[in-house]
Structure 1
């Protein structure tokens, strides 16, 4: 009898549990959390075409791609997901692969321009010329996503990205756009330059340092007079290396004619270097650290070095991770634009350019997406 009652009770309990389960399943779903993290099947899929080599070791990590799509949809309320299609080619072969996608109108939304072979025009220029990239000007000024992206880079950066008067993409890897030589002064010492309309020679730096050593000796304690990058110094004075970054063979321009530097140029350069030494010897009472240490710690008055938009932005010089306030005095030659490869843009034949713009903006400005 006791056994029968236990079975009956158990049956009744199971019935109640079943009814509760049915009620929860068929009732209003407002309190139920959606745990499905896969991309929505009905969401738009944007195709990103690129060479996987430039995306690093994580290019083939499907879990990262799934997490990217989950965050786009759940965290940023996007109505699209992204699918990467890898083009296993480089140089001319990569350009051919992209051209074939264009000719066949293969679905492509985001496009990476790749790198050109040595001695050939930049891939950015080539793809603009071949009508493979969508102009972004209107998006950058008229859409919220574009405005956020534009505000994330300096005006100098966007100036570098102009091609035939328009912006077709941006670099999200090494900028490869820099001034060959920048002469700058620490903001702390810029007031001492008011009497100079412009700094035209190394001699001027020596005179300014002599003035500072007499008027503000305490502020120069343990401070280097001039930090110098040798290539930048040569470029500042008009001697351009044939291969940037390699010292040895330089040329200069005279009346539109290019010539390799000669012995007289060498003598002139040695005299200029002597002047640099004089600048640093002005601060005779200072216990100056080595040049590298002085630069990294910001203990210098002047610096001559190559700069990029990433390390010199709005009068802030980024050394390691520490910004230092500076004033730019000279830049020579005019900004050299090497931002002609490895550009990311929107395919000219994309059927979803507005969504592609939003994706590019999010990837470029949201660390939780770009650092996956």
Structure 2
């Protein structure tokens, strides 16, 4: 067992260290481990003893439970309370994290908020979606204690862990609880659009705590290039952007005229993205899906982007990071855009950011979708459902608790300056900090860091977001997960990285198009259109 655990831990560390600290449209990446050299001294390594007879679904009849990492265990006796709740989270929020964070969390629960319980946090490798979902079902079948759980990230085999958890009866419906004291507090702690994302047939089964990547597309002009504000305030369309750039004449070397996210640019044309290279548009009042790499209008867009989106010695991503652009079209998260400035770096190696002044010319409607993964809910077989609701409600509504789970212990890991987070230097030998955008706290109520506004909920409510077409018409592609994975693997293959800005971009485009056709992208598009036609009758 020890050898198996070491192998698991090594594999998990490799997974965590290989991922980026960024969310993306296909799911959530996990945070790299900052310092795990003393992991054995700061977290307990545990496995549930024994085997379990399981007869439910496709779980093996004899199986061992998965290993997990713990934080905050064993504090009920110390704090003189009778109950311990078990909170299953992704290992990225637990592994190698400074244990003082979870110790302080339990102390606050009992001593400040009057709870009669503490929380044992257990970190699982949820990115192994099939095994993780089977694990949760096995825990349910064997009546092992779980009170709060995260559904985990999606994979090719289980693309939608939230709906699978609902269908498997793993999550307790929250509807009947939302009228209680703690239920009302929980409800009022999230914007309505967040609740919409976790709503299924009028019922709610969990909450979304991490940083929300939804924003609406913006046209931002680097203020350095604005000579007359009356000129740029009339820029509202993509064609206006091209005309403005042309009016500037020759632009200095190393500056990219237009940095643009393809999806954001497309949304300025009232378009919609179903999946990799599968776009949507309205045709005679009805939505339809089509293959972008065969569409003349889309191809004309990317040719224009190639014309305006290059500069010698500068990539699109570097230009965005360093502020080396004239115009940017993108959907900016709260932490990177304040309304009149964006966060950029002096150089690629720097860890420090500074503010670059920009002018917002226009915004388009963005989209928000039903949430598929990383939803946190109450385990349906918990014996402490009221306490679990209280726990979720306190995390959701108390900035002190959410700050703790996102930023660490105040005055040790960070301080507040005009209500903004300022990180401190601290001894990392005791463990790392959680990643603020992937923490277990409610991102919407934490104190702002970066360029985040003081009132994140009001800012999020101000975004021009519409329920996505796939969500609105409930397009279900769960039977096509393997095909979706193949298509996405082609699009994200390193051979095609930054394909648009390479000399042989048409050759690369044709290669992608041919491979996607061979794998069956038309089958996927036809199925989307079949479901859209049925829903729009």
| TM, length-normalised to structure 2 | 0.44
The answer to whether the aligner puts 1:69 opposite 2:106 as a matched pair is yes
Q: Is the 8 A contact 1:183 1:331 kept in 2?
A: no
| Alpha-carbon distance between aligned partners in 1 of 2:335 and 2:84, rounded to the nearest angstrom | 32
Aligned pairs (5 A) from 1:184-263: 184=219, 199=236, 201-205=237-241, 227-230=259-262, 232-234=264-266, 236-237=268-269, 238=271, 243=276, 250-253=277-280, 256=288, 258-262=290-294
Q: 1:350 aligns with which of 364, 369, 382?
A: 382
Check conservation: 2:76, 2:84, Cα contact below 8 A. no
Q: Which residue of 2 aligns with 1:359?
A: 391
Mapping of 1:288-367 within 5 angstroms? 303-308=328-333, 319=343, 329-331=363-365, 334-337=367-370, 339-364=371-396, 365=399, 366=401, 367=403
Q: Secondary structure at the match of 2:110?
A: helix
Structure 2, unpaired ranges of 5+:
1-74, 249-254, 345-352, 409-537
Q: Distance in 2 between matches of 1:274 and 1:139?
A: 53
* Kept after mapping to 1: 8 A contact 2:105/2:404: no
User: What TM-score does the superposition give when structure 1 sets the normalisation length?
Assistant: 0.59
Residue deviations 1:147-175, cap 9 Å, x none? 36743x44333332323333322233454
**Contact kept? 2:233, 2:361, Cα under 8 Å:** no
Residues 156 and 192 of structure 1: CA distance in aligned 2, closer, same or farther (over 3 Å): farther
- Counterpart for residue 46 of structure 2: none
Q: Which residue of 1 aligns with 2:218?
A: 183
The structure-2 alpha-carbon separation of the partners of 1:133 and 1:267, relative to structure 1 and needing over 3 Å to count, comes to: closer
Contact 1:137-1:166 at 8 Å conserved across structures:
yes
| Greater relative contact order, per chain length (Cα 8 Å cut-off, separation 6+) | 1
Matched position secondary structure for 1:99:
helix
Describe the SS at the equivalent of 2:305: helix
Query: Could you report, residue by residue, the CA deviation over 1:288-314 in whole angstroms, capped at 9, with x for unpaired residues?
Result: x9988996799989641134576679x
User: What's the offset of the Cα at 1:63?
Assistant: 5.7
CA displacement, residues 178-223 of structure 1 (integer Å, 9 cap, x when unaligned): 36x713458x999989989xx4x41244568899x9xxxxxxxxx9
Contact kept, 8 Å, 1:242 with 1:251, in 2: the verdict is yes
Among 44, 54, 77, the residue aligned to 2:83: 44
Maintained 8 Å contact 1:49/1:112: yes
Supply the distance in 1 between the matched residues of 2:122 and 2:316 (Cα, whole angstroms). 47
Q: How far apart are the structure 2 equivalents of 1:360 and 1:318? A: 33
1:354 offset after TM fit, Å?
A: 3.0
Match of 1:114 in 2: 152
Structure 1 unmatched ranges of 5 or more: 1-35, 214-222, 244-249, 278-288
Which of 142, 157, 163 pairs up with 1:104? Answer: 142
Aligned to 2:488: none
Counterpart contact for 1:136–1:167, Cα < 8 Å: yes
Of residues 141, 150, 161, the one that matches 2:198 is 161
Q: CA-atom RMSD, angstroms?
A: 4.8
1:81, distance to aligned residue in structure 2 (A): 0.9
CA–CA separation in structure 2 for the residues paired with 1:145 and 1:296: 41
Task: Report SS of the residue matched to 1:57.
Answer: coil
Change (3 A) 1:98 1:317: farther
Residues 214-260 of structure 1: per-residue CA shift (max 9 Å, x gap) = xxxxxxxxx998652345335655585964xxxxxx34457635335
Distance 1:112 1:95 in 2: 10
Is this contact kept in 2: 1:39–1:69, CA < 8 A? no
* 1:295-335 residue CA offsets vs partner (Å, 9 max, x unmatched): 6799989641134576679x798747889895862135x33
Deviations 1:78-112 (A, max 9, x none): 22111234556731111112112223333321111
Residues 316-358 of structure 1, C-alpha deviation per residue, up to 9 Å, x if partnerless? 98747889895862135x3344x31122111123233332223
- Alpha carbons of structure 1 residues 357 and 105: separation in structure 2 relative to 1, 3 Å: same
Tell me: CA distance 1:97–1:316, structure 2 relative to 1, closer, same or farther (3 Å): farther
Q: How many residues align?
A: 301
Between structure 1 and structure 2, the one with the greater Rg is 1
Q: In structure 2, the residue corresponding to 1:169 is in which secondary structure? A: coil
Find the residue that maps to 2:364 and give its secondary structure: strand
Task: Give the Cα separation in 1 of the matches to 2:152 and 2:177.
Answer: 23
Q: Does 1:58 align with 2:96?
A: yes
